[in-house]
């Protein structure tokens, strides 16, 4: 009986670890309240969970990252917060889909400093080790994204286990 309780607790801990990750991105954007007009950073931060949900369009987080820079400026702290959003893992529901979706719109993100940053993907996805290493590397030195969408950049870096999704 104790082993059954332990297994259930372990499964619950794993599930909790995979969901709710958008909270760290939201906190990073919220912390930018010294930039822009009063109330803008919290308002933008409040939008981050919605763009990271499994059902959200893959391009929505890139649009929001551009909005963050447009509203709060291009200070290095603002760019770092927006970059964290671009690289954030979009929630993934393996029971509803078998692979993640990535944005195929070559105009996004429009902010030059955010181009070439690629997202994390759920570790359950085949090839995620490659993509997640690429994501970490892209935050330090973005990949060349000249004329390319995030989906194109990801594919050029060796990860192709995703569905490309155009902006809505």
pLDDT tens, residue by residue, 115-158:
999 999 999 899 999 999 999 999 999 999 999 999 999 999 99
User: Which residue is listed with tokens 């009063």?
Assistant: 38
Q: pLDDT (tens digit, 9 = 90+) per residue, 77-126?
A: 999 999 999 999 998 777 778 899 999 999 999 999 999 999 999 998 99
User: Which residue is listed with tokens 């987080």?
Assistant: 61
Assigned token pair, 68 = 């963050």
Rounded (10°) CA dihedral 56, 69, 111, 90: -20
């Amino acid at each position: 009986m104790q082993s059954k309780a332990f297994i259930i607790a372990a499964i619950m801990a794993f599930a909790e670890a995979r969901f709710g990750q958008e909270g760290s991105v939201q906190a990073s954007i919220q912390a930018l309240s010294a930039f822009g007009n009063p109330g803008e950073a919290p308002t933008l931060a409040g939008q981050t969970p919605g763009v990271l949900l499994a059902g959200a369009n893959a391009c929505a987080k890139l649009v929001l990252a551009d909005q963050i820079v447009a509203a709060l400026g291009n200070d290095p702290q603002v760019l770092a917060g927006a970059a964290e959003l671009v690289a954030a893992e979009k929630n993934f529901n393996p029971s509803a889909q078998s692979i993640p979706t990535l944005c195929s719109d070559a105009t996004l993100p429009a902010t030059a400093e955010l181009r070439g940053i690629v997202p994390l993907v759920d570790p359950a996805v085949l090839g995620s080790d490659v993509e997640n290493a690429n994501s970490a590397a892209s935050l330090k030195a973005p990949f060349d994204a000249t004329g390319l969408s995030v989906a194109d950049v990801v594919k050029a870096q060796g990860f192709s286990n995703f569905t490309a999704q155009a902006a809505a």
